[in-house]
């Protein structure tokens, strides 16, 4: 009887409608985040391909992985929440796919930043040979672990549409032990380990900066790494807090609705902030702006047709 009552309560929570004003406010916010994220990351990819010789980007692998993660999140996850707000929910199998991909993008994002931090600490030696092979493996592993942990709730049928998160999320109804084991394992492997790597590499980079940095050193796009780290921590803090609240509640009740909504909005915001962070690098910004000017060619160019010689 208790399990049935819990199931009914969850169903009522899932079907709870949004107030009209809040609904359309969130629709506008999600629409803006979706457009900025999709267009911004598309422009990042275009600049990296067409203008790669106009700015220095030694550590292209993690930056490319991060951009693909942000682009995928903008096109698939944010758009899923956007249309879910308009239609009132998400149906299967799109519901399960969105839940799986969201965790994959979260894991790949922080994994890419961790690889970028490691490469900046090691230096140019990390872009060739066996060390670069290790970096490629770590980047792929961050995607793979995200897919694996994202697929577990799908396999065990823990997925339901959550109007507070505006997408399909994990709901726990029966076993606190299953929930705690899953969250601890997922956070330890996909979030905690990369975060510790980022912190350690950042501290070591700061300590060694006085010995290795010089004013004549060429600016690299990876110089924006501290801003990328700060943006990730800022945007994903509500998500981490909401999961920790769930972990601390023995009755399996989720975090407050407003916190779950905030966690989705803030995590989506990170996808649009990263392209703006890249623009803080002057060489990259100039390379991007050059696409606008070089694409316009004059209608006619002066051509030398004759030379007249005048005797004095």
pLDDT given for residue 128 in this prediction: 84
What span, in angstroms and rounded, lies between the C-alpha atoms of 186 and 106?
11
pLDDT given for residue 77 in this prediction: 93
**pLDDT tens, per residue, the chain with 312 residues:** 344 333 333 333 344 567 888 889 999 999 999 999 999 999 999 988 888 778 888 889 999 999 999 999 999 999 999 998 988 888 888 888 888 899 999 999 999 999 999 998 888 888 888 899 999 999 999 999 999 999 998 888 888 888 888 888 887 767 778 888 888 898 889 899 999 999 999 888 888 765 555 444 567 888 899 999 999 999 999 999 998 888 887 777 888 889 999 999 999 999 999 999 999 988 888 888 887 676 544 444 555 555 665 555
Find out whether 242 and 260 touch, Cβ atoms under 8 Å. Answer: yes
DSSP character at residue 125:
G
| DSSP 3-state percent helix, strand, coil across the chain (nearest 5) | 75, 5, 25
Domains (ranges, CATH) in the chain? Answer: 12-208+221-286 (1.20.1070.10)
Whether the ω angle into residue 298 lies within 30 degrees of 0, i.e. cis, is no
Token pair 């290790």 is at which residue?
A: 134
The residue among 151, 152, 143, 144 whose CA lies nearest residue 181 is 152
Q: Which helix (H) or strand (E) holds 167?
A: strand 167-170
What span, in angstroms and rounded, lies between the C-alpha atoms of 156 and 128?
42
pLDDT given for residue 298 in this prediction: 46
Q: Where are the beta strands (DSSP E) in 80-234?
A: 159-162, 167-170
Output the pTM of the full model. Answer: 0.83
Longest dimension (CA), the chain: 113
pLDDT given for residue 17 in this prediction: 61
């Amino acid at each position: 009887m208790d399990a049935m009552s819990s199931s009914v309560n969850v169903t009522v929570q899932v079907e709870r409608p949004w107030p009209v004003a809040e609904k359309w406010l969130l629709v506008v916010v999600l629409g803006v985040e979706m457009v900025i994220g999709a267009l911004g990351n598309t422009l990042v990819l275009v600049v990296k391909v067409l203008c790669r010789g106009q700015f220095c980007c030694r550590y292209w692998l993690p930056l490319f992985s991060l951009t693909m993660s942000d682009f995928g999140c903008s096109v698939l996850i944010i758009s899923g929440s956007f249309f879910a707000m308009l239609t009132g929910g998400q149906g299967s199998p799109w519901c399960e796919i969105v839940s799986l991909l969201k965790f994959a993008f979260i894991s790949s994002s922080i994994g890419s930043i961790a690889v970028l931090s490691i490469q900046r600490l090691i230096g140019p030696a990390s872009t060739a040979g066996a060390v670069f092979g290790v970096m490629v493996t770590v980047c792929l592993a961050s995607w793979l672990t995200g897919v694996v942990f994202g697929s577990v709730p799908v396999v065990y049928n823990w997925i339901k549409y959550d109007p507070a998160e505006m997408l399909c999320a994990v709901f726990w109804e029966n076993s606190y032990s299953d929930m705690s084991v899953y969250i601890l394992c997922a956070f330890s492997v996909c979030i905690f380990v990369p975060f510790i790597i980022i912190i350690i590499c950042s501290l070591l980079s700061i300590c060694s900066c006085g010995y290795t940095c010089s004013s004549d050193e060429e600016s690299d796009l990876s110089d924006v790494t501290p801003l990328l780290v700060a943006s990730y921590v800022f945007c994903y803090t509500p998500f981490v807090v909401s999961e920790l609240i769930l972990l601390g509640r023995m009755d399996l009740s989720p975090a407050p609705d407003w916190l779950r909504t905030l966690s989705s909005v803030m995590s989506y915001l990170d996808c649009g902030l990263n392209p703006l962070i890249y623009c803080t690098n002057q060489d990259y910004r100039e390379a991007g702006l050059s696409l606008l000017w070089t694409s316009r060619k004059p209608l006619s160019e002066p051509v030398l047709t004759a030379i007249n010689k005048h005797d004095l």
